[in-house]
Chains A and B, each alone.
Chain A
Amino acid sequence: MATEVEIPKAMVMADFKGKVDPDWCPGCGDFGVLAAVQKALVELQIPKHEVATISGIGCSSNFPGFIDTYGMHTLHGRSLAVATGMKLANHAMTVLVTGGDGDGFGIGGNHFMHTMRRNVDLLYLVMDNQIYGLTTGQTSPTSRLGMKTKSMPFGNIENPINPISIALAAGATFVARGFSADQKHLTELIKRGIEHKGFSFIDVFSPCVTYNHDNTFQWFRPRVKKLEDNPEYDPTDWGAAMEKSLMWGDEIPIGRFFERTDLPTLHAADPVLNAGPLVKQDNRIPPAMARSFIDELM
């Protein structure tokens, strides 16, 4: 049989269009994130069957259904654990993890920390709207002090967490922040995050137009300042990144805070994967090894 060389067709935006249209509220910040991810995949020309998009539960976690890749819509807070298993079993896949601030920093907080220290080669995009949306507006781990919500009607009395500082402290090797209204900038961050070998974290301001009336597009627009616009800023300097991560108020930095490339990813560190992706390895052990396992018991 003659072998025909298949010339791959270039990927276009339409290739990544999901089976259904997003059911987010009109004006939701998540539309911008979805478009930026699709654009980044097109620009990187990654075939859609080599991409897995894995989410937890929440408005933004409906993401995998709106993009045509291999998708997994898992449990609330568990996307990173599932994605780690997926990546380790087939590290040839590009694995994207999407979700919200409640999913990732609240119920999934433990996995967030440990996935970062393991340097699993994933891109983790958090659509951070500082509120619980799908449960109709309760305080989230990133809601500001004093913010009034249905669960804290007299104002939030708990300090919000700082996802960027936490990511830096936990050892994430790529830490960035984006703004869903700045498509071009976000697309570049996503491309860089996908290409980074190791755990890439992008916290994306993705305003909730229905339940968060404090942190709106209008509120963010004059405040966000790109780190890339500052020629002095060195994203390999962890201390400088930590310092920048603490800035909040009239000026809020976005962009690539930190990146280091000298640490091995988890899949590269485990010699079990020297023989290639786990899913393509033989599932039988050689007879001599089987005998040696039994001999140990004799």
Chain B
Amino acid sequence: MRQSFTVGIGGAAGQGVATPGDIFAKIFSRRGLHLNAYNAYQSIIRGGHTFLTIRTGPDKISNTGDRIDLLIALNQDTMDRHLGLLSAGGACIYNSELITPGAPAAGVQLCPIPVSKLADITRNKVAQNTLAIGAALSMMGVGFAALESVLAEQFRKKEQSVIDENVSLARAGYDYASQNFKPFAWPLPMAETRYAVLSGNAAMAMGGAAAGVKFYSAYPMSPSTGVLHWMAEHGRKANIMVRQVEDEIGVINMAIGAAHAGVRAMCATSGGGFALMSEALGLSAQAEIPIVVIDCQRAGPSTGVPTKTEQGDLWQMLGAAFGDYPRVIAAPLDIGDCFTLIPEIFNIADRFQCPGIVLCDLLLSEGRLSVDPKLLDFYPEIDRGELISFNGSGEHEPYKRYKITESGVSPRVIPGVPGHTHTVSSDEHDEDGVLISDEYTNTVKRRAMMEKRMRKVDGIEASVPPPQFQGSPDAEVTLIGWGSTYGVIDEACELLRDTGISVNHLPIRWLVPLHGDAILDLLRGARHTIIVENNYSGQFARYLRSETSFVADGHIRKYDGEPFMPHHIVEAVQDQLAGRTKLSVPAHEIMV
């Protein structure tokens, strides 16, 4: 089993849970450790309950794991909800003047801090947070200097006196813990490597910048808003036009206008906003104007649970906009992949002049992961496809925007180039762009245009690789997942192997094109297949069945708003192998 250490910090929204989280993340990543963080929160600005989990360790940390080693309770509510998560060896730090501890499990250390004796609480309302950080790092065996430099950085925009005050508070907490509490049995190791720590939203925005996106439009909607925030903060520097638009209908149509003018255009939203975009997705397909839309899934339907994760939008993506048309849909496997996928899908959208959809979710969008900075490549291949640009428009045949070709791809021209004027349209049209929807309806031409566009599907399929097993092909159990479940399934596989069950994993990254035949070939030899997904109805299972007729032996599903934990999958697999059920719906034990 991989070695790791997990901190949980709980409090009300507005109590300052985020700052300790950022400080821990910086300290861990600068020790050369990997980390994975997830904030379970509510749609409330002040109050409620927020619980941030940060897991760290020397190896890749693919999810936030099964247990908490250190609980920092900023309020009574956190103590009451989460003390039970700690097992022998764990510890709970809390303000002894405000919080009454519950009864911990055997071997759990309670670490009360007498806050008013160590700090002037009339002046500093978040003194308890800084004291707790100091105490925690002392117990983890981290030297104080690391904390001092991160605090100076964290408060760099404030006056020196604020930095000094926080450093002395942290010192007080650090020293108090050294004298009064038992350090953890496993002091945090150190390594030479350095990782970037980022959210999936920042990764997708940066991936856009790397892909050459010049136009980004959005309407704020959780959990996609982080993409807008990164773009808004960095767009002027990077010469990316960033627009906040009146609604998601305007967002996608504006992006299509910019894309038609010749730049790469991207937008992001969540399920509700995507629903408003669907008509224009058809425009992108029919007029053959490539755009990339990111959908950060949250628990639906309707307003649903805005701050909770789900993989419930797959069928919306598959069915978005009426009529048949070529599209590309991909689900990033982790936060690093959120970056890498964007240039890849842009190249396909550009080459085949069709919409590309990135199906992300709250878990990745708002989670944080340590990523090797070398993976954040700002100079990937950019393939704009067949595009007639300002240079090289000399003598040519009369230009036909929708010229019928074998590949289905007709060379696109950037408006402004002389000698190529034409009209693109949402109506069906002939090769010239003349409408065949009104006066000149023509069954032969309509059929030819439909077939031209749909021929692109073959090219798209050939441009992405089929999925592959991770682990031995002849394992006893095959776990199939898509998108963000990659990390947790990967760890569940390790845990299952530790119990003697041989298991492999088939992660799906490209949903359209699916490569159904290749999947069938892989699964033909599989002995017990289980599909794991974060939704109620098994949306991927139903999609796989509709495309391939393949029916899995069992299903593990979760639709309570929280992501899977590794043990949920391990226990469900054990249950299913014992024949107790074919559908497991694990209960989430961290109540947030």
Contacts and interface: CB of A to CB of B under 8 A. Distances in A.
Interface stretch (B98-106, B250-258, B325-333): B250-258
B350 to A, nearest CB: 11
A271 to B, nearest CB: 6
B247 interface: yes
Contact of B250 (A81, A273, A297): A81
A284 B379 contact: yes
B254 A65 contact: no
Interface stretch (A124-132, A176-184, A285-293): A285-293
Interface residues of B, number: 74
Contact of B261 (A64, A73, A85, A287): A85
B234 A293 contact: yes
Nearest to A53: B423
Majority secondary structure of chain B interface residues (helix, strand, loop or mixed) = mixed
B87 to A, nearest CB: 33
Size bin of chain A's contact surface: 35 or more
A54 to B, nearest CB: 8
B419 to A, nearest CB: 7
A243 B434 CA distance: 44
Contacts of B255: 85
Contacts of A52: 415
A110 interface: yes
Contact of A293 (B206, B243, B265): B206
Interface stretch (A42-50, A153-161, A251-259): A42-50
B323 interface: no
B241 interface: yes
A65 B287 CA distance: 14
Interface in B420-452: 420-427, 432-435, 438-440
**Residue among B202, B243, B259, B425 with the highest chain A CB neighbour number at 10 A:** B425
A284 B382 CA distance: 10
B246 A114 contact: yes
B300 interface: no
A70 B422 contact: yes
Contacts of A65: 423, 425, 433-435
A90 B241 CA distance: 11
A200 B249 CA distance: 23
A74 B425 CA distance: 6
Contact of B416 (A54, A71, A93): A93
A52 to B, nearest CB: 6
A171 to B, nearest CB: 14
B194 interface: yes
Given A49-B420, A74-B425, 10 more contacts: A62-B435, A68-B421, A82-B253, A84-B257, A85-B215, A85-B256, A88-B243, A93-B416, A278-B239, A279-B263
3 tightest A-B CB contacts, nearest first: A85-B257, A71-B423, A283-B212
Interface of B: 29-30, 194-198, 202, 206, 209-210, 212, 214-215, 217, 234-243, 245-247, 249-250, 253-265, 279-280, 283, 287, 373, 376, 378-379, 382, 390, 414-427, 432-435, 438-440
Interface of A: 19-20, 23, 47-50, 52-54, 57, 62, 64-65, 68-75, 78, 81-90, 92-93, 110-111, 113-114, 270-273, 275, 278-285, 287, 289-290, 293-294, 297-298
